[in-house]
Structure 1
Amino acid sequence: MSLYDHVAVIAPGVTLDRRAALAAAARSNGHKASVADDIERAREQLQSLSASVPTRAAARRRVAETADRLEAERERVATLRGRLEAGDDVADTYRQAIADLSEAETDHAAAKERLDAARERAREARDVRQRRLRLEDELGNLERAARAELAEAVRPAADDAVAALPGCGATTFDGAGPVPAALALARVGSLERPLTLACRHFATSGDAEAWLGVPVVSLRPMVYRW
């Protein structure tokens, strides 16, 4: 999220992820975490890895189907062989049954090969999924480290801004309420879009703009709250 996403509307009841917002303020001022390149590499690696595990259900069904057919063709050949040995005139039918059995054996072997290939792909996909999980953990750790580093880069300025905010009373960013904290971030960060304010820390919109250094849209008259 950008700094603007955190402070676009500053009003009572605003929620603020303080560390993430501090980090966003630092980024808006051009700060870059020391692990930024590592984060980019981890993201690129994640994007290159597929998360899906291919299904083997169709391949298993095909093996079962061809196995049933193979068993039926074997029984048919055995039956015809017995009749042929008994003197029945089934030579042509027997030859066709042999051909059908050969075809069934070929189909069954091919189905088993496809199932083996599907199993191998599934194993590879599981390996990829494990790599994704490790990368996601690594990326999460890197992103947390980056936020902490960036947050500390602007925390002193945020503390000073809170202490200088009219009608606040707090002296540190962490000790301030959500509205003063958001105002402090808007002051120390770099913003290019107007903010919407509904707070009572400034007498006029002009005072707010002068203190924040950014255009302000006021939702209600601003008066000091001492």
Structure 2
Amino acid sequence: MAHLLPDTQSYELMIIFLYDLGESEISKKISELKSFIEESGGKITAEDVWGVRDLAYKIKKQDRGFYYVLNFNFDDRAKINELNKTLLLDNSVLRHLIIKTPSDYVFKTLKEYEMEAKEIEKLEKDVKKEEKKAKEEKTAAKKSSVKAKHAAKKTAEEKPEQPEKKTEAETQVQEEAPAAEEQSKKKPKKELDELDEKLKKIMDNPDITI
């Protein structure tokens, strides 16, 4: 961007012409406007023809207008007032607006604005899509968790009670108990057999005195 002189100010002008003037008449008006600026010592830096567009509300019973945007530099402030007065008196102009622009102002065409708007719209749609997806995933996870809890509860209710598992020590005690009982039964029998054997020997030996 070119550096401005200390007393030079940059401006942006938007004009809405009567759209039914026709292209040739509107082109003539634009040429006259640019000539006035250049002949008054100004410098045109950018322009963009927006063409016929719908108005936000009716102006002078018109619902459509021809839009034109012009950027320029001026070092004579009095000429800005003169330009403003000329446009106010022009019956072919529905509305106009002259604003000062900062030194770092970047001029954008209508096409660039529309592209930016589409990018923003696309970004907003993508964000909403991601939010919807995240919400659906959260809902699905919640449903899955509830389903898993119900399944676990149902399984627990249907599962038969398992007999209490005995420890190895308890099993060993139970196994040793019958063995000990058997041994206790065998011991008296053995003792009785020994006693019978002794009695038999005594009975068979006449020398033994009872």
Question: If the length of structure 1 is used for normalisation, what is the TM-score?
Answer: 0.27
Look at both structures and tell me which one has the larger radius of gyration over its CA atoms: 2
Q: Which has the higher contact order (CA 8 A, sep 6+)?
A: 1
**Which has more helix, going by share of residues?**
1
Question: If the length of structure 2 is used for normalisation, what is the TM-score?
Answer: 0.29
**Which has more strand, going by share of residues?**
2
